[in-house]
Amino acid sequence: MGTPLNVALVGTGFMGKTHALAWRNLRAVMGGAREIQLELLCDMPLAQAQATQAQFGFARATEDWQAAVADPNVDVVSITTPNHLHKEMALAAIHAGKHVWCEKPMALTLAEAQEMSKAAATQGVQTMVGYNYIHNPAFTHAQQLIKDGIIGRIVHFRGWVDEDYQADPNLAWTWRAKLADAGLGTLGDLGCHLVSMAYGLCGPVESLIADMQTVHETRPLADGTGAATVENEDTATALVRFASGVQGSLSTSRSAWGRKNRLAWEVHGTKGMLCFDQERMNELQLYVNEGPKRTQGFKTILTGPEHGPYGQFCPAPGHQLGFNDLKIIEAARFVDAIQTGTDAHPNFADALGFEKVIHAMAASARANGSRVTL
């Protein structure tokens, strides 16, 4: 069976809970001989960590993140804190020889992300960044269909990711509106997910032209004493050229009323096209220009056991996977990388490529739509 893989989790919010669920359920779903030990849970204040310690299934709790990432009994650190804390925590864990699973975006700035990627490569630890949507069996099946030439040569990509969590102008100001705490706005929160999918389908971006806007320039303070400035963008759009020669567009909004997680894309080929929408995450739409015109149309591929690793969750097609299931797949691939010594994907180097795109979009927009080459 070997020695357990001992985990420290920093952060107990929404994403902290998803990591805890993934670590707890990993062996039950995916199998494997190595035991996962939930060793240390960290949050501030200590009462918060202690309140969730038993719920999440961790052996110990602390409010001292420096001690958590340096703990000699810890092998891997999950970082699910607000964005501005990612860099310092990840670097401390890396220099302590720990493997790191960090939520996206990696950091506030491109320079910080570059520093993190370099440190991980120098220290020789495994890293993973939380782009769980690209672990969806529907997405990996789309990648295989493209590789097999089912829709011919790829000529165009169109993608958008919209939510409405910042659509209400009366919503109180939070750290997500502050550059020093959140960094980019919708680009760092949502747009990077779309970029990760575009990369996986069409390869790296070569250059782009972009624009962005802040829809609600101020928001009321929670205590009712006034308003504060929103320092980052609510929407952003880019025309992109991929290194492969494919052209396309990327668009993101956190102020799109009615949209809950519409992470959607189309890949156009010379023989057909593929379409996907995360709000219907177990479905892939395929059109192929074959056969009589009167019978042609989009086909819905419903994921099932034939689209691994779906079958390790459920033996029946159409019963559907969910957001937290994708986190289990992500964790499993991270553990495989740790055990085999091969690179996890997306690791810090991969995620740096995604973040170059969102920061290039911001740079282009600030330069009145000038083309930026990555």
DSSP string, 163-187: --TT--TTSPP-GGG-HHHH-SSHI
Q: Over range 289-310, report the average pLDDT.
A: 96
Question: pLDDT tens-digit profile of 248-269?
Answer: 999 999 999 999 999 999 999 9
DSSP character at residue 190: I
d(CA 368, CA 123): 40
pLDDT of residue 219: 98
Mean pLDDT, rounded, for 105-127: 96
- In this prediction the pTM is 0.96
pLDDT band at 33 (very low <50, low <70, confident <90, very high): confident
Q: Averaged over 275-303, what is the pLDDT?
A: 97
**pLDDT reading at 1 higher than 60:** no
Encode 52-66: b = buried (16+ Cβ within 10 Å), e = exposed: bbeebebebbbeebe
Q: Which helix H or strand E contains 16, and what residues bound it?
A: helix 14-30
Q: Is 208 in a helix, a strand, or coil?
A: strand
Q: What is the CATH number of domain 5-132?
A: 3.40.50.720
Do 5-132 and 135-373 show the same overall fold? Answer: no
Query: For 335-344, what is each residue's pLDDT tens digit?
Result: 999 999 999 9
Measured CA to CA, the distance from residue 292 to residue 37 in angstroms comes to 57
What whole-number distance in Å separates Cα of residue 187 and Cα of residue 290?
38
d(CA 362, CA 322): 32
Which superfamily, per CATH, for 135-373? Dihydrodipicolinate Reductase; domain 2 (3.30.360.10)
pLDDT confidence of residue 38:
98
Mean pLDDT of 15-40: 95
H helix intervals, 77-184: 86-95, 110-123, 137-147, 179-182
Report the DSSP beta bridge partners of residue 160.
251, 264
First to last CA, the chain: 46
Task: Kindly tell me if the per-residue pLDDT of 310 is higher than 70.
Answer: yes
Query: Using one digit for the tens of pLDDT, what is the confidence trace for 36-80?
Result: 999 999 999 999 999 999 999 999 999 999 999 999 999 999 999
pLDDT at 2: 67
- Mean pLDDT taken over the chain: 97
- What pLDDT is recorded for position 5? 97
Distance of alpha carbon 104 from alpha carbon 354, whole angstroms: 10
Chain-centroid distance, C-alpha 317:
25
Domain ranges across the chain: 5-132, 135-373
DSSP characters over 355-373: HHHHHHHHHHHHTTT--EE
Can you list the positions of beta strands (E) in the chain? 5-10, 36-42, 60-62, 76-79, 99-102, 127-129, 154-162, 205-213, 218-220, 227-229, 235-242, 247-253, 262-269, 272-277, 283-288, 299-302, 372-373
| Omega cis (within 30) before 220 | no
